[in-house]
Amino acid sequence: MRSPNALIAIVGVAPVSAVPLSIPALGEDLMRILVALGLGVFLLLTNANEAAAHSLQSLENQLRDREKYFQSLDREAPDFILQDADGRTVGLSALRGKVVVLHFIYTNCPDICPLHAERIAEIQAMTNQTPMRELVRFVTITTDPKNDTPEVMRTYGRDHGLDPVNWAFLTSGPQRITATRELVERFGHKFTQEGDGYQVHGVVTHVIDMEGRWRANFHGLQFQSTNLVLFINALTNDIHGAGKSKSQGMWNKIQGMFKQ
């Protein structure tokens, strides 16, 4: 599997961190197109079966072989109705039509939660360099609604590089302090409250398709980020089930950028 920098190097464009100072004269829009093209070509050339054919089943089979932290699923995702840092109600049903990348943390976690948030931010940045940005929502849910106030939630996102353009940090509010830990259990793992506010927990990134079906878990933080991006891409191109209409996928949108 190539590194994230290889996504762009395939088409001869330097990664952003290595771009000479004279490049900004090209304009942000052109750079965004070049980065999107680089990722699109990467998806096509390095994973022709899944990206070109838009075959979700083919990609799932390949990930079972090459990504040991990948777990394929196909079941209705547990529903929820929570609120964001601005008090707006957000339910899973309202996110139909988007691929949802969801994980649980609490902001006072001293070790793994910040790393998990930053991994999600990395995947979000990779995704948002392409037209997939319009088709994906990243959702963080706190398991400590008592202490994770709206201001704490806003600061946490900024501090860990999460972009509010398609990311939301959700809570059940201090009146329902156990609700999100109960929701975690419906997603198959636990955040167990111990002394001094510490919670013992695992690390899982959940992926939900456009129809609200829970399609995968990526366990821990050792999985390849590009494998999760490929899986997101497959979901944007291949709505599960024979005979169902397909959404316009990432590669089709990239092509459309050059037809205007």
29 or 157: which carries more pLDDT confidence?
Answer: 157
102 burial type by CB count under 10 A (0-12 exposed, 13-18 middle, 19+ buried): buried
**What tens digit of pLDDT does each residue of 205-243 get?**
999 999 999 999 999 999 999 999 999 999 998 654 433
**What tens digit of pLDDT does each residue of 61-120 get?**
999 999 999 999 999 999 999 999 999 999 999 999 999 999 999 999 999 999 999 999
Domains annotated for the chain, with CATH where assigned, are 4-46 (no CATH), 56-250 (3.40.30.10)
Query: Is the pLDDT reported for residue 149 higher than 50?
Result: yes
49 or 117: which carries more pLDDT confidence?
Answer: 117
Query: Is the pLDDT reported for residue 180 higher than 60?
Result: yes
Percent of the chain scoring above 90 in pLDDT: 67
Report the 10 Å Cβ neighbour count for 44: 15
13 or 48: which carries more pLDDT confidence?
Answer: 48
Report the 10 Å Cβ neighbour count for 109: 19
Cα within 13 Å of Cα(116), Cβ side: 26
- Are the C-beta atoms of residues 115 and 154 closer than 8 Å to each other? no
258 burial type by CB count under 10 A (0-12 exposed, 13-18 middle, 19+ buried): exposed
pLDDT the model gives residue 160: 97
3 state SS of 156: helix
**What tens digit of pLDDT does each residue of 32-47 get?**
545 555 565 555 444 4
pLDDT the model gives residue 101: 98
Average per-residue pLDDT in the chain?
Answer: 81
